[in-house]
Chain A
Amino acid sequence: MTEKAADPVISLRDVAVTYDGRRILDGVNLEITRGEITVLLGGSGSGKSTLLRQIIGLERPNAGRVIVNDIDLVRCSPGELRKFRRSVGVAFQSAALFNSLSIEDNISLPLREHTRLAESTIRLMVWLKLAVVGLADSGKLNPQALSGGMKKRAAVARAIALDPEILVFDEPSAGLDPIVAAELDELIITLKRAFGMTIVVVTHDLPSAFRIADRLAMLYQGSLIAVGTKEEFQSSTHPRVRQFLDRVADPVAEESRVDDYFQRYLEGDSPK
């Protein structure tokens, strides 16, 4: 399924990923529009985290192309990859803050690595980023001293340290209570409005997805089964999309297989 975007900043073309002979992504085509919030939906094991790893250049697909800002991540030079890395900020599911460094040092790390700014300027920029995420007074603390929500916000501050064009969130609301998750949603919307960032969010939290998304894309068993606006999604008749939105469970055990198992067990044939 291909959805043509007006001004695509990220283009995925026939992306296929295989792990140990298992097809995780199967010919995914997607274009992500500049300045929009795109939410990648999907159940556990649908391949959405794998897709995210292709978009942020942590993995290369077995087939297909991933083009971000005209840089083909599959074939680019190390110099182009460095340029790409500076244009993308990532807020990981586990926050991924360096425990040995204070929050301030975590956020100043990309600035120290990639710029030649004076220490006083770096400190000021770090304070500004912390203020954006509402942690201006917590810079001196270590990550261990922060709550789950604060850690995620600190991770956002680090992700926006170099003012990236694209910001990527992996399961931002995972492990957070509804109020903190809602605060994070507001932060994502604010970042888009204030800085015009292109934001990609991977989640399976439906209220959050419908609150923040400009467009949604849904993965099922490694394939993209639906791409569209919130309204298009809500009126979708695709059985898997409906099942996901209506929270309908898959049958956990197949009765015939259970019967077959016991039958063979009673007959003395060790079932596998």
Chain B
Amino acid sequence: MRMSLLVGSVERVGRRTADDVEYCGSLARQLWNSLRALSLALPVVGKRYRWKAAVTQMLQIGVQAFPMVTLMAVCAGLILAMQGASELRRIGAIDLVVELVTIGFTRELGPLLTAIAVSGRSASSFSAEIGTMKVTEEIDALRTMGIDPVEFVLAPKYLAALVVIPCLSIFSNAFGILAGGVFMKIATGMTLGVFLRSVARTLVLRDLLFGLLKSLAFATIIVQVGCLEGLSVKGGPDAVGRSTTAAVVKSTFLVILADVAFTTLFYLTGGV
């Protein structure tokens, strides 16, 4: 009895591991195919109409997410500033709040908050859109017409995300830091000049670039996971619902996992 339980547990772990490895393999294969198809979505050198689709996606992923991302950044900026101020005040270093918010946002919060917001909005929408296309045989129709679904559906989304998610991250950085400044103005009466000098002193190109590099990785995760979940839909509308949930959960989890990996790399290379 005990032996069979043990065998059952080992089997479950083995099967789960095999499923996860298979999922990573599918993700890697899809990423490779979409990277190859990416140039076809570029303006001038790409195929007709793909760029138009990419611009539409940029509006949907980027412009429509802008209010939410900036509002989240303002809130997080205020939270970080208030939490930091309550501790830093005790050691008489409240002026360091601006530094804290600037470093916190450029290195970490800007790209991460943006990715989480976009993951919730767009990974689910990609998965629902492609899942519905799968259920209604539209993906099959594309394939029978000799049109690669990865090139037609995924590449414009990927290109759009690679362009707009770093842009949103920059806005998120700016609004988060600005919120920190507003707090300092209210709490300590800090002038705009002092605030800007503090920001300029703390802002390092390396941090900004590393943040943008992270947001490119996050964009990749969000699009690839969202689309893979959509393309994996089998069955009817309930499967679309499940894939939508899975897309958000998996992409958010992988974004945070990737962030840990990047921050560790940053730490080990002496950046932190």
Contacts and interface: CB of A to CB of B under 8 A. Distances in A.
Nearest to A83: B146
Given A96-B136, A112-B48, A112-B49, A82 B141 contact: no
Interface in A56-85: 56-58, 82, 85
Interface stretch (A1-9, A21-29, A86-94): A86-94
A90 B141 contact: yes
A90 B145 CA distance: 8
Contacts of B140: 58, 90, 92, 96
Given A112-B48, A112-B49, A92 B146 contact: no
Contacts of A110: 145-147
22 contacts: A85-B143, A85-B144, A85-B145, A86-B146, A88-B144, A89-B144, A90-B141, A92-B137, A92-B140, A92-B141, A94-B136, A96-B136, A96-B137, A96-B141, A99-B136, A110-B145, A110-B147, A112-B49, A113-B145, A113-B146, A113-B147, A158-B141
Interface bin, chain A? 20 to 34
Interface of B: 47-49, 133, 136-138, 140-141, 143-147
B146 A85 contact: yes
A58 B141 CA distance: 10
Contacts of B133: 98
B227 to A, nearest CB: 16
- Chain A binding surface SS class: mixed
A99 B129 CA distance: 11
A186 B144 CA distance: 24
A93 B136 CA distance: 9
A109 interface: yes
A58 B136 contact: no
Contacts of A92: 137, 140-141
A109 B48 CA distance: 11
B48 to A, nearest CB: 6
Contact of A114 (B49, B144, B146): B146
